[in-house]
Structure 1
Amino acid sequence: MTELFTVGYESATPASLADALVEAGVQTLVDVRAVANSRRPGFSKRALAAEVEERGLSYLHLRALGTPADGRAAARSGRHAEMRRIFEAHLVTEPAQEELAALTALAATGRKLCLLCFEREPEHCHRLMIAERVEQRLPEVEISHIHPLTAAFLGR
């Protein structure tokens, strides 16, 4: 079996996220945000890439696998079914299909990958939908979710 991890950074710090990735044996963090910026310090593309690369992991941004703006708005408002419908429609676009194929090919190498987005709970995030598509294409893939220590727990 090949493990494909997912993680949400909603309540994590950059360090706790990187620690959790290392602990799980992740080799590549795959950022599936349409916009790899964050109001949370340390989670914008460059800072996050530097944090994980410092620990020996690689970083890959697959922008076309991110949720469109209207889907992100639905998710922020707790309208998860609407977000899923919007993302399902987005997933059939050519750019999303190309990046899904590239992600599947990378997973087929056996490399331990982890899909990253903001939402803490995978069932409320599009990253689970992506992981399930990879699993459909590669039945030997097993999906696991990483829950980094929360910022509150760390006293931050």
Structure 2
Amino acid sequence: MKLFTIGFTRKTAQKFFGLLRGSGAKRVVDVRLNNVSQLAGFAKRDDLAFFLKEVADMDYVHVPELAPTQEMLDAYKKEKGDWKQYEQRFLGLMRERKIEERLPRSIFDGSCLLCSEDKPHHCHRRLVAEYLQQHWGDIEVKHLT
């Protein structure tokens, strides 16, 4: 199974949709907690679903079970928290939610996890991909940057 990840920050629409089209992914799985922010530009939920279909012939699905809680986000972003602590809390949340059991594999096959962070290094989309890879074992992860 191939699973891609992408963030939209610091990308033009041309770069963003070009990377998605070139990947061969068939669906974007939005793992953001807040997907309607005005700051998101072309990546707002309704606009994104439209553009993905029109520009890249891709489906869109929002899966908030793959997002951190608002409390976790605030502790890390607003309060300038420690990445390692955030990572451990988020992975604990994934275990608690049992995403590997509750979410069908078909959602992820040939999909691209989306969030806002430009690079995957300090981003929960990478943690989701690695968590699923660890539990399912047969996932090839590629970060689109």
TM-score bucket of the superposed structures, by smaller chain:
0.7 to 0.9
Range with bigger deviation, 10-19 or 98-107: 98-107
Map of 1:46 onto structure 2: 46
More helix by share: 2
* CA–CA distance in structure 2, aligned partners of residues 8 and 78 of structure 1: 21
Aligned to 2:30: 31
Gaps (5+ residues) in structure 2?
Answer: none
Q: How many Å apart are 1:66 and its aligned residue?
A: 0.6
Cα RMSD after superposing both structures: 2.0
Q: Is the 8 A contact 1:20 1:146 kept in 2?
A: yes
TM-score (norm. length: structure 2) = 0.85
1:79 maps to 82
Percent identical across equivalent pairs? Answer: 26
Q: 1:129 and 1:48, CA in 2 relative to 1: closer, same or farther beyond 3 A? A: same
| Cα offset, 1:92, TM superposition | 2.9
Q: Is 128-137 or 19-28 further displaced after alignment?
A: 128-137
Q: How many residues align?
A: 141
Q: Is the 8 A contact 1:104 1:137 kept in 2?
A: no
1:6-155 to 2 correspondences below 5 Å: 6-38=5-37, 39-54=39-54, 55-76=56-77, 77=80, 79-93=82-96, 96-98=97-99, 101-107=102-108, 111-147=109-145
Pair 138,50 (structure 1): closer, same or farther in 2 beyond 3 Å? same
Corresponding residue of 1:152:
none
- Cα 1:136–1:89, aligned 2, differ >3 Å: closer, same or farther? closer
How far, CA to CA, are the matches of 1:100 and 1:51 in structure 2?
31
Opposite residue 67 of structure 1, the aligned amino acid is P
CA contact (8 A) 1:65 1:100 kept: no
Bigger mean CA offset, 57-66 vs 129-138: 129-138
> What secondary structure is seen at the aligned counterpart in 2 of 1:51?
helix
Q: Is the 8 A contact 2:91 2:131 kept in 1?
A: no
